């Protein structure tokens, strides 16, 4: 079971992601320079957060058109997990591997803070083990995270269980105040129909250890553990439904 | 200056040519040479068992044990930020990150100390908005978290804002690289951005006062490229890991001239470079421009000949431009060639060691008057005063600012902005952590540079202690007016004396610093408040010791540590509530600081403390209010129990800014043990009351009572920055 963490020029969460996969989960995770990426031998790919190519054109755009993305696309087609975190999510929408777009935050500024999220679906590789309706806590840090799509397409996403995470308040309600960036329907993460391609704005790698969380939570770890189970054929241990 | 030119001619035995003159002018600028400040800075304590590299290098380096080191440094970027806040602040980060990087430590944290004019002024809003945006856009992109800082508002900073940036790096003791050229024959490689015409004479510009014409000097402000910088960070660490890099320095102020002369001077060698090899942004640049350019994002590598190809291979992988521009020689001089001709030839020593200036110092005449102000009348409703004080921009929550910074990247930040008195960053390799905080109360410093500066050291050390750390080293960033004016130079020398007094007293070595002069508004002739920002580094040996400021549980007992005096001068209470800017500020006492810090440290280590917060702006009342707001819990305290001397009025008890004080909360039943600890360390401690499950601050004093609703306090403290400054 090998996981490739892709390193683009300007990525900056690649080492954090590797740390969580290797040190906390004992997984065979490898940092792969984008030019050297060849999908053979890898069972999953993670596109980490950061500012690939400085995000100078539009967040994630240049990376989305790099040769490495051909391999990423092929892995997605083969049903292997492809996970985009923050800038990685932006790459996946730019590459057309996930529907919709991520625009500049409604408040126009970069926002770094911890948010509460509700698990809306557990058909994705990242939420596989999480009970639907569970409230989890992770930090966000982005300037372009406002998820938008056509109304009709969003209804479709909801119907298919492709909306996986929404921004909610402490009580689990998707209020406008709980929405840090103006995303439609408070959407924080989505997946494709098969559930193997997943994109989310929050950073699970930053919320995987109690010592880093203002709430002592380790919810980020559950997302990566879900990935592991998904890769292993999808045996859910509990809370399925 | 004519005397300097005479000195140069005397040393050279000839007139320098135009290029040489340009190089010397840069190196003799105040910014590069420290010619006014060097004789004074000598008195700072710089030795300590943990100190590996002290002042004089790009960054101070301290040993934190188990083979790990921390490199840290602070720098000012005031002048560029005052005329181009976005690029000025961004390149300020760029410069300090390179300073840490060139010791071969990975930059892991940034801190920003910002100072602006009154919050309602249009210029303040413009400067603040774009300084913060510059830091956010640059810092976030390079993947180094901005974890702490401070913001102060005062009339003196209206024209000339202060932007000080500190960076902290972590590395291995056995792989430190220094900015030296020691072996003749080594190659000199310039890596990173191309050299352009930007920033020529940047240091000269930074060494004079801002005037109406300064706006025209905007081309002297360099432009940063954080994307390039992020790649330079990774490529530099990868290149050094090959083992073939013998020396490393970033190109900042005075560009190539500075890097070549300082590195060869420190290593006792010389250099020979060929300028036509430098990769340029514009084709027709002259040797003069190439030697003086301050283009950002450039590093100078000294590479062992046998490893040249390996190192260049790393740069190629990252797609980073580079050029081999020359070699290290044993001549002791800088030999600059351009298309086969020698265009400059100067001894390294002549460039690197500018003659020292002994400036005159004189105590300002109006200072004595400023210290003596009549006491204002005590407001009837002190609860109201407390709410208003919490909304003072100098005290209010800075959340609208720090939420724009990525403070999480790197997964080290375990105490985040707003949660504790200092930022705490864990080591990824072992269960220990470091703590850092930057502090200065510039109003205290203006009224009494000696005590105010000693207080800045004490406050940053207290903040580090409050989160569970032991202070181990400090760096300082001095911001003053024109040193040619004896009154300013007096402030400077008194200030450094104050720093030295407290550093010595607390046993904290100063391992690096920066001096910025000429911070004044020429129109009004007013200099900025003398402001030396002190960054203290602390070591947390066990993660269990990490402590935050929020009250945790109702029933916990609240204690005041340290004695309160009627020290109201320069206080936020005088300024914000009464409009008084004078008075005698608190007196600094290393003995009292040591006692209070020892009490808190020991109590934390014994696991007695749930929350700790130092008392600074707004005094004990503001400290209690913030701890309650953060915890979402009320308090019930008797102010009459606060340890004090000569405090006759309730407002003084509430809002005095005496140093050497903390508020802590402890589990019920800890009082006896805490008193024993305090007695052993010769300090004062007293139980004031308890944390209660209410939404009210209830404070008794004799027959009087002050009640404030938590919601009202929270609204004042949280909402104020946006109220005064609009959406940032």
> In this structure, what DSSP letter does residue B379 have?
P
Other CB atoms within a 10 A radius of the CB of residue B506 amount to 20
Dihedral of the alpha carbons of B1, B2, B7, B13, in degrees to the nearest 10: 130
Residue B714 included in any domain: yes
Q: What is the mean pLDDT of chain A?
A: 93
Output the 3-class SS for B218-273.
HHHCCCCCHHHHHHHHHHHHHHHCCCCEEEEEECCCCHHHHHHHHHHHHHCCEEEE
Query: Residue A142: inside a domain, yes or no?
Result: yes
**pLDDT above 70 for A80:** yes
B319 exposed, middle or buried (CB, 10 Å; 0-12, 13-18, 19+)? exposed
Domain contains B686: yes
**Torsion angle of C-alpha atoms B400, B401, B402, B403, degrees rounded to 10:** 40
Total domains in chain B come to 1
Q: Summarize pLDDT for A199-238 with one digit per residue, the tens.
A: 999 999 999 999 999 999 999 999 999 999 998 876 665 4
Give mean pLDDT in consecutive 10-residue pieces for chain B, a chain of 728 residues: 88 94 92 90 95 91 97 94 93 91 95 95 94 94 95 95 97 94 96 85 62 56 78 94 95 91 95 96 90 91 97 94 97 96 96 92 93 95 97 96 96 97 96 98 98 98 98 97 95 97 98 93 88 98 97 97 97 96 96 98 97 98 98 98 95 98 96 97 97 97 95 96 81
C-beta atoms of A51 and B407 within 8 A: no
Cβ–Cβ under 8 Å, residues A88 and A123: no
Q: Indicate if A150 belongs to the active site.
A: no
Half-sphere exposure in the Cβ direction for B520 (13 Å, CA): 18
pLDDT of residue B511: 97
Of the candidates B137, B410, B416, which has its C-beta nearest A16's C-beta?
Answer: B410
Known catalytic membership, residue A86: yes
pLDDT higher at B199 or A86: A86
Q: Quote the CA–CA distance of B518 and B532 in Å, as a whole number.
A: 14
Confidence label for A65 from pLDDT (cuts 50, 70 and 90): confident
Answer yes or no: is B311 within a domain.
Answer: no
Tokens of A157: 């996403």
Dihedral pair phi/psi, residue B529, rounded to 5°: -55, 140
Are A212 and B413 in contact (CB < 8 Å)?
yes
- Assess if residue B709 is contained within a domain: yes
Helix (H) / strand (E) containing A70: helix A68-77
Is there a domain that residue B294 lies in?
A: no
Residue B580's domain comprises 547-728
As a whole number of angstroms, the distance between CA B80 and CA B221 comes to 6
Q: Does residue A237 fall inside a structural domain?
A: no
Structural domain count of chain A:
1
Q: Is B728 on the interface with A (CB under 8 A)?
A: yes
How far is the C-alpha of B12 from the C-alpha of B33, rounded, in Å?
Answer: 19
Q: Please give the residue of chain A at the shortest CA–CA distance from B147.
A: A112
Q: Name the catalytic one among A14, A120, A205, A225.
A: A205
HSE-up of A186 (CA within 13 Å, CB side)?
19
Residue carrying the six token digits 């391609």: A197
Domain that holds residue A109: 2-231
Task: Indicate whether A240 belongs to any domain.
Answer: no
**What is the distance between the alpha carbons of residues A92 and B695, in angstroms, rounded to a whole number?**
47
CATH of residue A93's domain is 3.40.50.880
Residues B587-597: b if buried by 16+ CB within 10 A, e if exposed? bbbbebbbbbb
CATH number of the domain enclosing B638: 3.90.650.10
Any A CB within 8 A of B542 CB:
no
The reply to whether B455 falls in a domain is: no
- A9 within a domain of the structure (yes/no): yes
Specify the residue for token string 């939570």.
A217
- Relative to beta strand A197-200, strand A187-191 is antiparallel
Work out the end-to-end distance of chain B between its first and last CA atoms, rounded to an integer number of angstroms. 44
For residue A239, is pLDDT > 50? Answer: no
| Probe site for chain B from A20, A110, A182, A218 (most B CB atoms < 10 A) | A110
Between the CA of residue A99 and those of A64, A89, A197, B497, what are the distances in Å? 14, 11, 11, 63
Q: Does B405 touch chain A (CB under 8 A)?
A: yes
Chain B: closest CA distance from residue A239 (Å): 29
| A238 in a structural domain | no
B138 touches chain A (CB under 8 A): no
CB neighbours of B262 closer than 8 A, spacing ≥ 6?
Answer: B179, B249, B348, B352
Residue A96 near residue A152, CB atoms below 8 Å: no
In this structure, are residues A163 and A187 in contact, taking their beta carbons and an 8 Å threshold? yes
Q: Residue B611 falls within a domain, yes or no?
A: yes
The alpha carbons of chain A give a radius of gyration, in whole angstroms, of: 16
**Within a domain: A101:** yes
B409 touches chain A (CB under 8 A): yes
DSSP B685: E
């Amino acid at each position: 079971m090998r996981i490739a963490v892709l390193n683009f020029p300007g990525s900056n969460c690649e080492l954090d992601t590797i740390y969580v996969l290797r040190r906390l989960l004992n997984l065979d995770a490898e940092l792969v320079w984008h030019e050297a990426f060849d999908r053979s031998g890898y069972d999953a790919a993670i596109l980490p957060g950061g500012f690939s190519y400085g995000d100078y054109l539009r967040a994630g755009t240049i990376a989305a058109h790099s040769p490495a993305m051909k391999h990423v696309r092929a892995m997605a087609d083969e049903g292997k997990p492809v996970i985009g975190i923050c800038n990685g999510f932006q790459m996946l929408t730019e590459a057309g591997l996930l529907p919709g777009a991520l625009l500049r935050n409604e408040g126009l500024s970069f926002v770094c803070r911890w948010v509460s999220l509700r698990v809306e679906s557990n058909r994705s590789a990242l939420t596989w083990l999480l009970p639907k309706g569970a409230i989890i806590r992770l930090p966000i840090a982005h300037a372009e995270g406002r998820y938008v799509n056509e109304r009709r397409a969003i209804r479709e996403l909801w119907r298919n269980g492709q909306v996986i995470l929404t921004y909610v308040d402490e009580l689990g309600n998707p209020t406008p105040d709980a929405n840090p960036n103006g995303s439609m329907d408070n959407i924080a993460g989505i997946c494709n129909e098969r559930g193997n391609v997943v994109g989310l704005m929050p950073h699970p790698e930053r919320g995987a250890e109690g010592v880093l969380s203002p709430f002592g939570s380790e919810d980020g770890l559950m997302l990566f553990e879900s990935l592991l189970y998904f890769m292993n054929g999808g045996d859910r241990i509990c809370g399925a439904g | 200056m004519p005397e300097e030119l005479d000195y140069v001619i005397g040393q050279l035995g000839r007139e320098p040519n135009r290029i040489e003159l340009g190089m010397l002018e840069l190196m003799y600028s105040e910014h590069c040479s420290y010619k006014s400040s060097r004789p004074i800075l000598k008195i700072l304590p710089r030795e300590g068992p943990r100190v590996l590299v002290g002042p004089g290098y790009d960054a101070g380096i301290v040993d934190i044990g188990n083979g790990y080191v921390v490199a840290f440094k602070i720098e000012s970027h005031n002048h560029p930020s005052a005329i181009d806040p976005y690029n000025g602040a961004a390149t300020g980060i760029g410069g300090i990150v390179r300073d840490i990087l060139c010791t071969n430590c990975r930059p892991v944290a940034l801190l920003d100390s910002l100072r602006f004019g009154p919050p309602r002024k249009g210029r303040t809003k413009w400067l603040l908005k774009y300084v913060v945006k510059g830091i956010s856009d640059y810092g976030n992109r390079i993947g180094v978290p901005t974890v702490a800082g401070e913001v102060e508002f005062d009339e003196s900073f209206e024209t000339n804002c202060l932007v000080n940036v500190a960076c902290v790096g972590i590395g291995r003791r056995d792989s430190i690289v220094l900015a030296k050229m020691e072996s003749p024959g080594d190659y000199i490689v310039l890596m990173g951005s191309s050299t352009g015409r930007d920033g020529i004479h940047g240091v000269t510009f930074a060494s004079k006062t801002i005037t109406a014409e300064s706006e025209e000097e905007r081309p002297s402000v360099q432009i940063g490229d954080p994307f390039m910088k992020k790649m330079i960070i990774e490529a530099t660490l990868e290149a050094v890991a090959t083992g073939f890099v013998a020396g490393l320095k970033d190109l900042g102020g005075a560009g190539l001239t500075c890097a070549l002369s300082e590195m060869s001077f420190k290593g006792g060698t010389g250099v020979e470079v060929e300028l036509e090899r430098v990769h340029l942004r514009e084709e027709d640049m002259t040797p003069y421009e190439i030697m003086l350019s301050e283009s950002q994002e450039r590093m100078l590598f000294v590479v062992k000949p046998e490893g040249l190809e390996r190192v260049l291979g790393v740069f190629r992988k990252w797609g980073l431009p580079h050029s081999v521009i020359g070699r290290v020689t044993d001549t002791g001089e800088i030999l600059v060639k351009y298309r086969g001709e020698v265009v400059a030839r100067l001894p390294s020593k002549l460039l690197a060691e500018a003659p020292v200036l002994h400036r005159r110092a004189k105590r300002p005449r109006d200072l004595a008057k400023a210290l003596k102000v009549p006491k204002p009348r005590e407001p009837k409703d002190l609860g109201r005063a407390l709410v208003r004080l919490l909304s003072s921009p100098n005290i209010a929550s800075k959340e609208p600012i720090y939420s724009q910074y990525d403070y999480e990247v790197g997964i080290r930040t375990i105490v985040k902005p707003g949660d504790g008195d200092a930022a705490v960053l864990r080591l990824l390799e072992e269960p220990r952590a470091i703590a850092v905080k930057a502090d200065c109360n510039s109003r205290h410093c203006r009224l009494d540079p000696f005590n105010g500066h000693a207080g800045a050291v004490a406050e940053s050390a207290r903040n580090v202690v409050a989160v569970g750390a032991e202070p181990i080293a400090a760096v300082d960033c001095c911001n003053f007016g024109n040193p040619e004016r004896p009154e300013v130079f007096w402030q400077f020398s008194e200030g450094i004396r104050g720093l030295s007094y407290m550093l010595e007293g607390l046993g904290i070595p100063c391992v690096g610093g920066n001096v910025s002069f000429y911070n004044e508004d020429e129109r009004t002739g007013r200099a900025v408040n003398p402001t030396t920002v002190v960054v203290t580094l602390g070591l947390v040996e066990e993660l269990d010791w990490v402590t935050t400021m929020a009250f945790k549980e109702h029933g916990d007992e609240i204690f005041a540590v340290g004695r309160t005096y009627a020290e109201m001068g320069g206080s936020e209470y005088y300024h914000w509530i009464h409009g008084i800017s004078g008075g005698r500020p608190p007196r600094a006492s290393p003995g009292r600081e040591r006692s209070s810090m020892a009490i808190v440290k020991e109590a934390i280590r014994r696991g007695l403390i749930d929350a700790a917060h130092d008392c600074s702006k707004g005094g004990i009342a503001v400290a209690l209010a913030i701890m309650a707001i953060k915890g979402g819990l009320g308090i019930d305290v008797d102010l009459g129990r606060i340890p004090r001397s000569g405090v006759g009025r309730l407002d003084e008890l509430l809002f005095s800014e005496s140093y050497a004080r903390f508020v802590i909360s402890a589990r019920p039943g800890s009082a006896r043990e805490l008193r024993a600890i305090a007695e052993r360390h010769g300090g004062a401690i007293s139980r004031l009351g308890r944390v209660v499950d209410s939404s009210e601050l209830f404070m008794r004093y004799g027959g009087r009572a002050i009640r404030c609703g938590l919601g009202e306090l929270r609204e004042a403290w949280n909402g104020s920055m946006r109220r005064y400054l609009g959406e940032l």
